[in-house]
């Protein structure tokens, strides 16, 4: 079992839609038993994949070890894909992790699910606090979505610097997301990092919240779906080498 964290220190970079699309790719393209763990209190991934679920306040209890994650996990409409949903109780997650006397709580929770799943995709909240430290200790790979811009590049450098001070930190895989080649700044960023994966800006992605589905489920031949599939294959290759 491998854990992939979709993380960004700032919002607005398409983190949640990327997490949902990669979870779909894992379950559908690789036929992996996949769990999407929504740790973002906004619950975007949970809304997309389980819109009819009545949100409670149990997500925090899973972190506190007062509730088994299996009690909260729900199936989705996609074969091989389950969801561990978020709710408003995660708004103070950083504070909770600072109070917990366990620096590897996320790692222990995900490790307990290794017989149930082949891949755990975590939709992480933004920020560089205690939650980020837990994610760093618990992930096999950190995927870092970036808008091709100076500010996003700065945020990426901030994360890499942060990881340099962490023992046994997982590899970080930056990905250009919401790319608009009409913009000079986007083209310049892409030219500066030609080997980095590039996911195009697409209205199809914006429709995910209305359709309650990953883009690959309703537009599998679209350029953005093809780019997501290519990215997922690269992720699988990296995980295979790590294993």
The alpha carbon of residue 2 and the mean position of all alpha carbons in its chain are separated, in whole angstroms, by 13
Burial class of residue 31 (count of CB atoms within 10 Å of its CB; 0-12, 13-18, 19+): exposed
CB 5 within 8 A of CB 135: yes
Q: Which domains does the chain have, with CATH numbers?
A: 2-242 (3.40.50.300)
The model's pTM: 0.94
Query: Tens of pLDDT along 19-30?
Result: 999 999 999 999
- Percent above pLDDT 90 for the chain: 70
Tens-place pLDDT, residues 151-162: 777 777 777 776
Which of 86, 181, 74, 91 minimizes the C-alpha distance to 127?
Answer: 91
- Give the tokens for residue 217: 């489920």
CA atoms within 13 Å, Cβ hemisphere of 77 = 15
| Beta-carbon count within 10 A of 85 CB | 22
53-79 burial code (b ≥16 CB/10 A, e <16):
eeeeeebbbbbeeeeebeebbeebebe
Render pLDDT for 102-115 as a digit per residue (tens, 0 to 9). Answer: 888 999 999 999 99
For 180-210, the pLDDT digits (tens) are 999 998 998 889 889 999 999 999 999 999 9
């Amino acid at each position: 079992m491998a854990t992939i964290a979709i993380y960004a220190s700032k919002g607005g970079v398409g983190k949640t839609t990327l997490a949902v699309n990669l979870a779909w790719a894992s379950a559908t393209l690789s036929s992996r038993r996949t769990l999407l763990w929504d740790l973002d209190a906004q619950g975007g991934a949970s809304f997309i994949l389980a819109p009819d679920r009545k949100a409670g306040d149990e997500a925090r209890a899973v972190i506190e070890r007062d509730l088994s994650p299996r009690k909260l996990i729900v199936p989705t409409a996609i074969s091989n894909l389950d969801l561990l949903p978020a709710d408003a109780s995660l708004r103070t997650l950083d504070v909770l992790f600072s109070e917990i006397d366990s620096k590897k709580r996320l790692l222990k929770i995900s490790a307990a699910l290794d017989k149930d799943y082949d891949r755990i995709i975590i939709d992480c909240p933004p920020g560089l606090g205690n939650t980020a430290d837990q994610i760093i200790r618990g992930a096999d790979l950190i995927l870092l979505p970036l808008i091709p811009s100076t500010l996003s590049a700065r945020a990426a450098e901030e994360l890499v610097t942060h990881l340099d001070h962490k023992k046994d930190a997982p590899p970080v895989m930056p990905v250009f997301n919401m790319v608009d080649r009409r913009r000079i700044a986007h083209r310049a960023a892409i030219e500066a990092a030609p080997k980095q994966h590039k996911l195009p800006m697409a209205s199809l992605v914006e429709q995910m919240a209305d359709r309650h589905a990953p883009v690959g489920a309703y537009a599998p031949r679209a350029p953005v779906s093809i780019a997501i599939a290519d990215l997922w294959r690269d992720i699988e290759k990296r995980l295979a080498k790590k294993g």
